[in-house]
Amino acid sequence: MKLFTTSNPKILKGEKLAKPVRTLVLHLIPHTLNGLGVNLCPGSTSACRRGCINVCGHGGMTRKDGTNTCHNARLARTTLFLTGFQTFKEQIVREIVNHVRYCNKRGLRAAVRLNGTSDINFADIFRDVMEAFPRVSFYDYTKVSHYWIMWHNGEAPKNYHLTYSMSETPQSHAFAARVLNSGNLVACVVKATPKQALPSYFNGFKAIDGDRHDYRPDDAHHGGAYVLLRAKGPMRKAWGVESGFVHELSVAATKTAYAV
Ligand code: SF4
């Protein structure tokens, strides 16, 4: 079983950038779906669990008999992570070594996203792995404010980048304001069709179309900015906006509609 995947369509867009980047993504089974009583998404909310990226794309393809091969693979990786950590870690390192060789041969930048469908403090538990590959760019999105604070305070490895991912709670909105005002990135889900152009300003801040590619370290130069992501999968239903997780573009395209 491979631990990393590279086939996610949005991730593949990185290979078309002016400075192409190839990203390995680790997809575990999120929050408490591991069945071992461990919550791998401590900052998750009811809305993000309901519309989780785990149930979008291939993850949303459940067969008539109820099986989902994508979720089964994520569960198997997660079981190894939780019950055979050293074996898991050694395989992670081997796959990154191969990734670096592949990228070097083709003139690609090498990146790794460990929290494809989880929210674990990898900057802490895989610090040595990140430091062993100083030329590899590790990046994640997080809903956990203290992971972001740790990163912002310079306590994470230098080759790690974190984007704060806003949820529907007032606490998350307030923390997002702090992140934006400190000149950093906040991911925000908006109601928009796949082909709809996104505004360049949102809620008083610069906005980036986060669906163009996934590699956020390239966006760090924008300063405080929203990374707008179109609602996908179950999030597109009415409850997405009603829950406060998905934002209407019409409400907040240019003015400040949420506290910042
Ligand atoms: S934090 Fe991310 S991966 Fe975890 S449940 Fe929420 S959307 Fe899914």
Q: Is the CB of residue 44 below 6 angstroms from any atom belonging to ligand 1?
A: yes
pTM reported for the whole predicted model: 0.93
The 3-class SS string of the chain reads: CCCEECCCHHHHHHHHCCCCEEEEEECCCCCCCCCCCCCCCCCCCHHHHHCCHHHCHHHHCCCCCCCCHHHHHHHHHHHHHHHCHHHHHHHHHHHHHHHHHHHHHHCCEEEEECCCCCCCCHHHHCHHHHHHCCCCEEEEEECCHHHHHHHHCCCCCCCEEEEEECCCCHHHHHHHHHHHHCCCEEEEEEECCCCCCCCCEECCEEEEECCCCCCHHHHHHHCCEEEEEECCHHHHCHHHHHCCCCEEHHHHCCCCCCCC
Atom of ligand 1 nearest to the CA of 43: 1
Per-residue pLDDT in tens (0 to 9) along the chain, 260 residues: 999 998 888 888 999 999 999 999 999 999 999 999 999 999 999 999 999 989 887 776 777 777 889 999 999 999 999 999 999 999 999 999 999 999 999 999 999 999 999 999 999 999 999 999 999 999 999 999 999 999 999 999 999 999 999 999 999 999 999 999 999 999 999 999 999 999 999 999 999 999 999 999 999 778 899 999 999 989 999 999 999 999 998 755 555 555 55
Does the CB atom of residue 240 touch ligand 1 within 6 A? no
* Per-residue pLDDT at 64: 75
Distance 60 CA to ligand 1 centre (A): 14
pLDDT number for residue 257: 55
Per domain, the residue ranges of the chain are: 4-251
- Out of 117, 145, 188, mutate this one to test ligand 1's pocket (max ligand atoms within 8 Å of CB): namely 117
Q: Ligand 1: which of 32, 119, 163, 164 to mutate, judged by most atoms within 8 Å of the beta carbon?
A: 119
Whether ligand 1 lies within 6 angstroms of the CB of 157 is answered as no
Looking at residue 7, its pLDDT comes to 80
Q: Specify the ligand 1 atom closest to the Cα of 115.
A: 3
